[in-house]
Structure 1
Amino acid sequence: MTAEAQLPVLDEHRITVPADAETAWRALTETVAGMSAGRLATAYAWAVRCADWKASGSGPLVVGATIPGFRVLAADPPERLVLAGRHLFSEYQLAFRLESRGGETLIRAESRAVFPGLTGGGYRLLVVGTGGHVIGMRMLLRKIARRA
């Protein structure tokens, strides 16, 4: 998978945090690393046969490192973090972009994905069609904002 695979855009979510870009970056990376640090994340990633189902690398969010479900494709502090993964039902990418705006930082999270075949379509219906993906992304961004 390349650093910016051209998968179809699924959605984009945004939040503005009352912090400078460096503080927002730290909150982003700590939150993302933390969301995949537990046994549940590893078990889920293993169950759906993620290509990267456990953590590896010299640090949690450096290029080439893995966390359950994702491989770090790009990490350009404090502007961009790109994660990608694939499993039995999907190939996906999550890109965070940070834009400094005075004393605030806009964080954009863009999701891209394909869901091949009948099982992929069923998975998409389960995860995206129920609104679960939107709820999860909003919760993630709010957690980043609180941490910042």
Structure 2
Amino acid sequence: MERLPYIDEHSTVIDANRERAWKAVLRVLCKDLDDPATVPGGFVLAAAEEPTRLALHGRHWFSEYELIFLLDDQGSGRTLVRAQSSAKFPGPHGKIYRALVVGTGGHRLVMRRMMRQIAAAA
């Protein structure tokens, strides 16, 4: 798969070990906590490497995108959770879509909310 252009990264340190943080990521993102493939509509599971990496991929007419969660042990029962977003927005419709999603700050707001939900779920 071709590497998509980087959009941004959001991170938070969670007061939980990596296994609990992994479960928190799945609790927020998946319909079934025991099945990482039950990701939200618009995404498919690209990789699930418990408890360190969850990669989601998606595409539609205006963009191709990926969202990768990386969980890094910080010691003392704490975990750094990072969410990396990448996407390409081909053609004139893609350019408009990028302006609406990324340019307005909507993507940033959604990602920050998601990271707060993951921290609370842990």
**TM-score per shorter chain, which class?**
over 0.9
Q: Return the letter of the residue paired with 1:111.
A: S
Distance between the aligned counterparts of 1:14 and 1:66, measured in 2?
20
Please identify runs of 4+ aligned residues in structure 1 that moved more than 3 A.
none
CA positional deviation for 1:88? 1.1
CA positional deviation for 1:61? 1.1
Identity between Structure 1 and Structure 2 (%): 47
- In structure 2, stretches of 5+ residues that fail to align are none
Q: Return the letter of the residue paired with 1:88.
A: W
Contact 2:30 2:39 (C-alpha < 8 Å) held by counterparts: no
Query: Aligned match of 1:141 in 111, 115, 121?
Result: 115
Partner residue, 1:90: 63
Q: What is the total number of aligned residue pairs between the two structures?
A: 120
Partner residue, 1:79: 52
Helix, strand or coil: the match of 1:7?
coil
Contact 2:15 2:79 (C-alpha < 8 Å) held by counterparts: yes
CA RMSD, Structure 1 to Structure 2 (Å): 1.6
Partner residue, 1:106: 80
- In structure 1, stretches of 5+ residues that fail to align are 38-58
- Write 1 or 2 for the structure with the bigger share of strand: 2
Per-residue CA shift, 1:1-38, capped at 9, x if unaligned?
x3xx400100011100000000000000110115xx9x
Is 1:70 equivalent to 2:43 in the alignment? Answer: yes
Distance between the aligned counterparts of 1:66 and 1:17, measured in 2?
22
CA positional deviation for 1:67? 3.9
Distance between the aligned counterparts of 1:136 and 1:67, measured in 2?
14
Distance between the aligned counterparts of 1:100 and 1:126, measured in 2?
35
Helix, strand or coil: the match of 2:16?
coil
Contact 2:29 2:40 (C-alpha < 8 Å) held by counterparts: no
If the length of structure 1 is used for normalisation, what is the TM-score? 0.77
Q: 1:61 to 1:88 in 2, by over 3 A?
A: same
Q: Return the letter of the residue paired with 2:47.
A: A
Is 1:26 equivalent to 2:23 in the alignment? Answer: yes
Q: Return the letter of the residue paired with 1:21.
A: R
